[in-house]
Chains A and B, each alone.
Chain A
Amino acid sequence: MRDTALAESAVTCWVLTGIAIGFLGLFLALPLLAVFSEALRRGVDAYLAAFDDPDTQSAIGLTLLIAAIAVPLNLVFGVCAAWSIAKFWFPGKSLLVSLIDLPFSVSPVVSGLVYVLLFGAKGLLGPTLSDWDFKIIFAVPGIVLATIFVTFPFIARELIPLMQEQGTAEEEAAMTLGASGWRTFLTVTLPNVRWALLYGVLLCNARAMGEFGAVSVVSGHIRGLTNTMPLQVEILYNEYNFVAAFAVASLLAGLALVTLVGKSILEWRYGHGLSAVRRR
């Protein structure tokens, strides 16, 4: 069978589809399958026993805490950035937009490094901090900072293009009708961007809970104190405690799957409420 002028032959079609599915199966499905199969290798009891470890429990708690601080802060930032960038004109706007994206082009290790250089024992503010007896590096505040850095652009970049598309006409109408600025935001702007907001929060949260490189640099890996879930995975793995490592990893893999499903639902169902690049 030969290619026709307008479409590939059935053979080409099948071969290409086969290559694509084979490639995705090898690189996406197999690693995911490996996580769950390794976690359940010694049965369900061993799997569940992994979560009896108090250090693992505290790692789960810390990860939830970090996300509960970092995500709302970046949410407030994202809304403020989008409001000022999308609803007003000022010089240097596109530079500001590129600067907001900057953390995405920095290696996670470097994202952690910059805070060590600032707050570490031999860092710029290190001596001052130790005078005050306040620890940032090798403590929770450092982990929060590094997490905020790596998740910095997620919510802003969903909101800015959408709010730019939406313009200011609706808000101006509300103001003309006598609504206050705050009420206009709550009853006009917020409903207009709610799906994009949720989308951004979903992605931001997944990265906040899963970040490894940046957090690993600032955490100091103190068991039960500064270990997040990804770091706990590393420690257990390096101790050859594979079942426990993969058990914790399976929770994170579950989070990734939930994120993907939520993201797809938003794209397919509520695509009209997302910025143009997300619509399907």
Chain B
Amino acid sequence: MSVAVQSWSPSWPPAIPKPGALPGFGITFGFTLTYLSLIVLIPLAVLVWRASGLGLDGIWRVATTPRVLAALETSFVISAAAALVNALFGMIVAWVLTRYSFPGRQPIDAAVDLPFALPTAVAGIALAALYAPNGWIGALFEPWGIKIAFTPLGIFIALVFIGLPFVVRTVQPVLQDLDREIEEASATLGATRRQTFFRVVLPALLPALLTGIALAFARAVGEYGSVIFIAGNMPFKSEIAPLLIVARLEEYDYAGASAIATVMLVISFAALLAINLLQAVSRRRMGDA
């Protein structure tokens, strides 16, 4: 559920300087390493090895076929759009949940985690039913000639749903801990509420906001279950990259599947890295680098 919402803070320097004061290090550490290697590291290494068998130009050839390019573009562009929409609404939700009190605030707060808890297939068919031309929401748009389900717009809706908790859950704790005295100082110095928000509060929230956007984006790029039911899955139109991996696997084209998976991993890591840099810059501007 709260996928990497808060980075762990391994207490550093550690409070436990004496190795061997307690028993059981050997067996627990050994088991941890073995289990981690068998379940996660070796299988991921096989993926990289399999893709590297194609060579860089082989991966490039797979990645630049028109259908793969179209799928990658669909995945990354719509994920970015969904993450940005979640940034705006996530900020508003976080603000309302921390700053205002109204009846039902606690259950609503708890409900924000629903997209983490609801199985993606369930979310997928529920959204498809809602936004289909005869669904509760789809029917409202049908007279205007706007189709949502089974078009890229449907993918966007699904990705907004699954990315919804990230920005709220990263911004909320920072907003809670934000010293109200800073806002008072800003007001005393003659700033309007709007100026205080945009020049004092928002910069303080920016690193958390960027983290939330990055996490929502990364989750959206890899998302499969909630998207495929509402997407329509038309090649060149509404086909996402993870679906193309599945299609390649069904044709037993393991090399092609690995190549697309590797390209996806590389692009998302690059995007995460870029956002981490942005975060570092915005933190430094806040003076607590």
Contacts and interface: CB of A to CB of B under 8 A. Distances in A.
Contacts of B22: 87-88, 168, 171-172, 175, 181, 184
Nearest to A41: B129
B121 A81 contact: no
Label chain B's interface by main secondary structure. Answer: helix
A31 B110 CA distance: 16
Given A4-B193, A110-B261, A172 B21 contact: yes
Interface in A215-270: 216-217, 229-231, 233-234, 237, 242, 245-246, 249, 252-253, 255-257, 259-261, 263-264, 268
A67 interface: no
Interface residues of B, number: 106
Contacts of B102: 17
B161 A117 contact: no
A212 B15 contact: no
A267 to B, nearest CB: 8
Interface stretch (A44-52, A158-166, A190-198): A158-166
A91 to B, nearest CB: 11
B11 A24 contact: no
Given A106-B222, A107-B224, A81 B164 contact: no
28 contacts: A3-B192, A3-B194, A5-B193, A5-B196, A23-B93, A27-B160, A29-B111, A31-B161, A76-B31, A87-B22, A88-B20, A89-B19, A90-B19, A99-B36, A100-B36, A107-B261, A108-B242, A110-B245, A113-B257, A114-B43, A118-B46, A120-B254, A157-B8, A161-B9, A209-B119, A212-B121, A216-B225, A264-B110
Interface of A: 3-8, 13, 16-17, 19-21, 23-24, 26-32, 34-35, 38, 76-77, 79-81, 83-90, 93-94, 96-97, 99-110, 113-118, 120-124, 145, 148-149, 152, 154, 157, 160-161, 164-165, 167-168, 171-172, 175, 181, 184-185, 203, 206-207, 209-213, 216-217, 229-231, 233-234, 237, 242, 245-246, 249, 252-253, 255-257, 259-261, 263-264, 268, 277
